[in-house]
Amino acid sequence: MRVSTILATVCSCGVARLGSLVGKARPDGSRLQAESFAHNVDCAMNVVEIENVTKTFGQHRAVDSLSLAVPEGSVYGFIGPNGSGKTTTLRMIMRIYHPDPGTGTIRVLGEESYGAAHDRIGYLPEERGLYKKMKVRDVLRFYAELKGLRDFKGAVDVWLERLDLVEWGGRKVETLSKGMAQKVQFISAVIASPEMVILDEPFSGLDPVNMDVLRQAVLDLRRKGATVIFSTHDMAVAEKMCDFIFMIYKGKKVLDGTLDGIKDRYAQDTIRVRLTERNGELDRLPGVEKVTDFGQFQELRITPETITQDVLAAVMNVGRVLHFELARPSLHDIFVRIAGPDAEEAAAESVKQEAALA
């Protein structure tokens, strides 16, 4: 029930609405990025266009009637629980998997099938490895050549320098630590200066220092005009970096839009309060659907038709109000709301009800 509501919401505020949203200041103050994106979007085309694509493996429907458009020059974040279809979608964009026949189309950099466009895409899969016996420079040269880059020496040097790997260039991959290997993998994906990079969990397993280095590298790519699509489990990273958030859950798209747009959509229903001298229960108040107690403060989720003024009046009867705020939920909250245990229960409940009705 909830999922379909959200889906409807998302569809109504799809790409068409984005133009009006991108100019807003973001909570972390990254107005600059949003503005530069707004500039891009004026003359933008979509580098990825997925229309109504389904992918099944045996009985399992990994991706279900998915549509998606990634505007040129944007940072597009894919989020979703494990096994929800992120990697499958990214693999389909890379044409490693093909959609089920007759279900829809995927257009990447204007091409509908595997072609020259591939050399303009950098790909860092989630499952990634390097030839252990090869030297770092040889590995990078190999990937540069695979992408059709002829003059790669300069690029290799720049990237090794940049990610602090110069002294490792002549060593074999098997001597690298995990974090260093991951940086080499990142370079292998971006060595050919792609127009679009697809990074599947690029930051997983990195220490904070290396994570910052890679994050800066990603933002630099985008500054130079590349489109970045990445998937992550780290909601804080997604909030900081992404122009657009796309969430997939059980193969279906449940969120797609700018961070502001998504937050606005969820903002009206959360109230953060802080009370002293409490003499009643918050969850008994009219219009309050759910209370999350954080100790110092409580978050109330209210039903859509509830008027916040009424809630304030009711709360005043429960105790002395120190703080009352119409809260913007974090991406983390939204994620948990869609894919958390409660959502699972609600989904199971509705299935039961349907079964009972039938």
Partner 1 sequence: MRKTIVVAVREYQAAVRTKAFLITLFAMPVLMGGSIAAQVALKDKVDTRDRRFAVVDYSGRLFASIETGAAARNAEYIFKGDGEDRRQARPRFLPTLIEASSEDRDQVEFELSEQVRAKELFAFVVIERDPLEDAEGGDEPALLAYHSNTPTYEDLRRWLYGTVNGAVGHMRLVSAGIDPDIVEEATERIGIDNLGLLTRDESGQISKAEKTNKAVGFGVPIGLMMLMFMVVMVGASPLVQSVLEEKMQRIAEVLLGSIPPFQLMMGKLIGTVGVSLTISTVYLVGAFIALNYAGQGSAFPTHLIWWFMLYQALAVLMFGSMFVAVGAAVSDMKESQSLMMPVMIIVMAPMFVWTSVLQAPSAPFSVAISLFPPATPMLMLLRQAIPPGVPGWQPAVGIAGVIVATTVFVFAAGRIFRVGILMQGKGAKFGEMVRWALRG
Positions in the binding site for partner 1 (CB under 8 A): 91, 94-96, 114, 118-119, 121-125, 127-134, 142-143, 145-148, 185, 188-189, 198
Closest distance of CB 134 from partner 1, Å: 7
Rank residues 228 and 271 by Cβ distance to partner 1 and give the closer one: 228
CB atoms within 10 A of CB 1: 11
Q: Please report how close the Cβ of residue 115 comes to partner 1 at its closest, in angstroms.
A: 10
Q: How far apart are CA 342 and CA 129, in angstroms?
A: 37
Give the span between the Cα atoms of 240 and 29, in whole angstroms: 10
With vertex at residue 56, the alpha carbon angle to CA 54 and CA 60, rounded to the nearest 5 degrees, is 125
Cβ distance to partner 1 smaller for residue 22 or 139: 139
- Which tokens hold the place of 300? 């109330």
> Nearest to residue 152, comparing CAs of 190, 109, 182?
190
Return the axis-axis angle of helices 136-146 and 178-190, rounded to nearest 10°. 30
Question: By C-beta, is 27 or 114 nearer to partner 1?
Answer: 114
Q: Looking at beta carbons only, is 10 or 50 nearer to partner 1?
A: 50
Q: Choose between 61 and 118: whose C-beta lies nearer to partner 1.
A: 118
User: Minimum distance between the CB of residue 106 and partner 1, rounded to whole angstroms?
Assistant: 15
Closer to partner 1 at the Cβ: 94 or 343?
94
Query: What is the spatial distance between Cα 248 and Cα 300, in angstroms, rounded to a whole number?
Result: 26
How many angstroms separate the CA atoms of 197 and 5, rounded? 32
Cβ-based burial of 133 (10 A; exposed 0-12, middle 13-18, buried ≥19): exposed
By C-beta, is 120 or 253 nearer to partner 1? 120
Query: Smaller CB distance to partner 1: residue 25 or 146?
Result: 146
Give the integer Cα–Cα distance in Å for 156 and 142: 11
Report the distance separating Cα 262 and Cα 177, nearest Å.
38
**CB of 66: closest distance to partner 1 in angstroms?**
20
Closest separation in Å from C-beta 142 to partner 1? 5
Cα 122 from Cα 114, distance rounded (Å): 14
Do 204 and 233 form a contact (C-beta atoms < 8 A)? yes
Tell me how far, at minimum, the Cβ of 163 lies from partner 1, in Å.
Answer: 17
Read off the amino acid at residue 161.
E
Give me the amino acid identity at 165.
L
343, 3 in Cβ contact below 8 A? Answer: yes
Which CB atom, from 131 or from 158, has the smaller least distance to partner 1? 131
Rounded to the nearest whole angstrom, what is the least distance from the CB of residue 133 to partner 1 in the complex?
7
CB of residue 313 vs partner 1: minimum separation in angstroms?
Answer: 58
CB of 75 to partner 1, least distance (A): 19
Cβ atoms within 10 Å of 171's Cβ, excluding its own: 14
